[in-house]
Amino acid sequence: MERNDGMKALVKAQAAPGLWAERRPVPEVGPDDVLIRINKTGICGTDIHIWNWDDWAQRTVPVGLITGHEFAGEIVELGEDVTDLTIGQRCSGEGHLIGKTSRQSRAGKFHLDPETRGIGVNEPGAFAEYLRLPAFNVVPLPDAIDDEIGSILDPLGNAVHNALSFDLVGEDVLVTGAGPIGIMAAAVARHVGARHVVITDLNPDRLALAGQVADVVPVNPMEEDLASVASRLKLKQGFDVGLEMSGSQAALDQMVEALVMGGRIALLGIPPGKSPVDWSRIVFKAVTIKGVYGREIFETWYKMIAMLENGLDVRRVITHRFPVADFEKAFEVMRGGSSGKVVLDWR
Ligand code: NAD
Ligand code: ZN
């Protein structure tokens, strides 16, 4: 069997910047697991933190770990107790491995389980020819979703979770941060029926990409302030809903300023550290803020697949594709900060 000679994997082999291509044993599956042969993987901002070996990565990621958590592949082996999946099934999957004992899990709110561990961050990941995953985490892919889109369902899921946090039908929506996740959230807002979707970024490449992926109004706040954008679009008071996808304090300040009284903010961007917030402004505007982490397991997956089957098109957010042998080039492109999603081909 070819699997006997092990598998190729991208490993955090040293406590230093970089990832290393190494051979590792193919994981053995437990009774409730499946083995997935990986076809495509997406590179995430998280993988860049791990590559760069920044403070967060040093505190979080064990040296020797197989990295990566965005994937699509095919089931090649079933644990002995797995009855509801089949060999050959194309799939992606939820990379957050949850416990089953917390109050939240027992209430069915799996995405709020405090014991969550992430593949490619705390547990062996998907940048490998094979991935072991609990069958519970597997998300089968319909024929309409190919492996390339399958490999970006994790970040699309972040975008969907965030965008569906508040009712967007007929609303005027402000997205701050046109990274891949912000752009996909803007596309989702448009798809579900927002009236105007404005997206901000300081990087012209990112704004151009946003315009190519979705029918949105790209704005560089250094060049045009949001009050003038609002009046150009004939908004009476401001934006109804804000989706914060940059992690920038300046962007959050601008968002609060540009919202209507009683506006709502779904906060997904992660600021680098503590940042001062003008809370009185938030109180006087009666703004609701919701922190959004990960994906709702599995409601976000259900909605995302349904929307993709019904015309949501985010393919153009994938700007680069590389064979895994060229992973160093792929990471270089991602680290440049102007790309959309970068996908690695493992076959
Ligand atoms: P990214 O870094 O590719 O995109 C962020 C974008 O924000 C960049 O294009 C940057 O130019 C832009 N930006 C910076 N300052 C800005 C400002 N003042 N105004 C407008 N735009 C500004 O990140 P991504 O992969 O698209 O992820 C988006 C954010 O979500 C990041 O902060 C990331 O850490 C976070 N994230 C959160 C979760 C979660 O579960 N909550 C999951 C994944 C990523
Ligand atoms: Zn990711």
Question: Residues of the chain whose pLDDT is less than 70?
Answer: 1-2
Q: What is the pLDDT of residue 20?
A: 98
Residue with the smallest CA separation from ligand 1 atom 31 is: 269
Q: What is the pLDDT of residue 272?
A: 87
**Plot region of 48 (φ>0 → left; ψ -120 to 50 → alpha; else → beta):** alpha
Q: Is 24 within 8 Å of 66 (Cβ atoms)?
A: yes
Ligand nearest to the CA of 185: 1
Q: Is 251 in the pocket of ligand 1 (CB under 6 A)?
A: yes
Residue with the smallest CA separation from ligand 1 atom 20 is: 201
What lies within 8 Å, CB to CB, of 267 at 6+ separation is 244, 252, 289, 290, 291, 292
pTM, full prediction: 0.97
Residue 23 CA, ligand 2 centroid: distance in Å: 23
Residue with the smallest CA separation from ligand 1 atom 44 is: 269
Q: What is the pLDDT of residue 2?
A: 67
How far is the CA of 34 from the CAs of 37, 97, 213, 295, in angstroms? Answer: 10, 14, 34, 21
Catalytic residues: 46, 49
Q: Within 13 Å and on the Cβ side, how many CA atoms surround 56? A: 13
Q: Is 197 within 8 Å of 217 (Cβ atoms)?
A: yes
User: Of 329, 327, 312, which Cα lies nearest the Cα of 152?
Assistant: 312
Residue 268 CA, ligand 1 centroid: distance in Å: 8
Please name each of the domains of the chain with its CATH number: 7-152+314-345 (3.90.180.10), 157-291 (3.40.50.720)
> According to the 3-state scheme, what is the secondary structure of 295-335?
CCCCHHHHHHHHHHHCCCCCHHHEEEEEEHHHHHHHHHHHH
Q: Is 271 within 8 Å of 208 (Cβ atoms)?
A: no
Strands 172-176, 138-140: pairing is unpaired
Q: Within 13 Å and on the Cβ side, how many CA atoms surround 86? A: 3
